[in-house]
Amino acid sequence: MGILHGETGHQAPLAAPNGHAKPPPCLAGMNIYAKAQEEYGLIKKVHRTLAPTGCTPDFCQAGRMTRIHEPRVGRDRPLEEIQQEAVEFLRECRDQDIIESNELLDQRIKTALVQIMETSEEKIVTDKQGNQFQGIAGGAWEQTYEELEYGLRAAWRNSRRCIMRSEHMHLALCDLRRVTTSREMVHTILDGMVKAFNRGRILPTCFVFPPRLPGKRGPMVWNTQVLQFAGYRQADDSVLGDPANVELTEAFIRFGWKPPRKRTRWDILPLIAMAEGDRPYMAELPPELRRTVSISHPRFEREFREMDLCWVMAPALSRQGFDIGGNQYTGSPFIGWVMDAEIGVRDLADTFRYNVLPEVAQRRRLSDEPDTPFDSLQEYLTLVALSRAQAELNFAVYYSFLCAHVMMIDTMTSSIKYQNYDLDRQAVVGYRLPADPYWLAPPQGSIVPIWHQGGLPNYQPKPMICRHVQDPVKAWERELEQKRREDAETPS
């Protein structure tokens, strides 16, 4: 895995002072090294553009959730990089028969290069190594529906942190590149989300708005997920609702959202989006999307009913961006279905989220010393009780979604499907999918088979899904402040 951790995505950390790859001294190590180099060669042959993974030969960030030097949408990038990535993406489309002939490929390349040049501007640019300098920032080009659809699916397949990539060919494109107002952004997202939810038979769908141009922020969604709960900071510094969303909830209130008169842990936030050059627009979610799944348990009905737990029906990430052929799609929310552990082991269970495991353990008397207050248990007894509570909560989540007829996949099935897809694909192309073990291994640990696949290669091809450079709320607040300064300087 190590030789694929280069700063540019294709440097080898096993390097001698002269810059050449330095093989390990023992025979076993040399065999591993040779196989890794062979795999790396196949990867480079197929994936013409490899992005930084955040690691360098001197500094590995594999254990970090958020890493420096990872690609993000929202930066002005050198014209040459944009042109190169456009050409390489179109050649990949030709390899996959998305473009039907070499003559059409030549025509598409010429058109793309002209459009990129026409929309380029002189700016401070950031190259793939993170260096900044004055230069020409590459513009955007118009991809065909088929090219964009392939790019989205390839970006999902290339997503090192996703375990459900076996389904990438089922991702549907909702092409909204014609939408240029915030109001229409919000309404098209909500209308499309209802259709994609499909009464519980979820159709994975990405809603794509116009690509960002140099010097612009591009269209953006304030919500981190379209479906998410508010978090209210209380006078005693506790949180009612989801602690992950406290700052976002406060920003929504500043913008004008009025929470319910009687606030609860499960208040659904509205949706706020902003098109390029337009002020943000807010709307409440329709009833079809506000519905939640009540968490119940067939053996512990009373206890779970008294805990009053629930969750939204589907994950719909809305602050991620897509980097496809040099185009940066900053507004591209997408909906899929959820894995049980995302809710039962993380969202409801993490100590910095809803932290319900101690309550589950106490109500079900899962400790070996049930009459001892939970906070007073010895550490090993706490671990036993929390482990039992985690298993029961995760089962309750899956059981509840099953009863509600809302699509969900369990951790074991998703792990097996990923491994089978990865191995079947390796048999055809000769190398494994890119993988970030920190994210890919489910939180239940070694009882899930994929946990043991620690030797998977960590590289990042493009097209790719990535984070934003800017927080959309702060970006809007900066725009407001800039406008205030300009108004103050303008003579009356």
Catalytic residues, which ones? Answer: 162, 165, 337, 342
Q: Rounded to an integer, what distance in angstroms lies between the CA atom of residue 440 and that of residue 419?
A: 11
Report the half-sphere exposure of 420 (CA within 13 A, side-chain side): 9
Burial class of residue 187 in the structure, from the number of CB atoms within 10 Å of its CB (0-12 exposed, 13-18 middle, 19+ buried): middle
The three-state secondary structure class of 247 is: helix
Q: Is-contact 160 436, C-beta < 8 A?
A: yes
φ and ψ of 51, to 5 deg = -95, 160
CB atoms within 10 A of CB 368: 13
Q: Where are the strands (E) in 186-344, listed by range?
A: 205-208, 220-221, 231-233, 239-241, 271-274, 281-283, 292-294, 310-312, 316-317, 321-324, 327-329, 334-335, 338-339
CB atoms within 10 A of CB 351: 9
Residue with tokens 């929202």: 74
Task: Give the helix/strand (H/E) hosting 265.
Answer: none
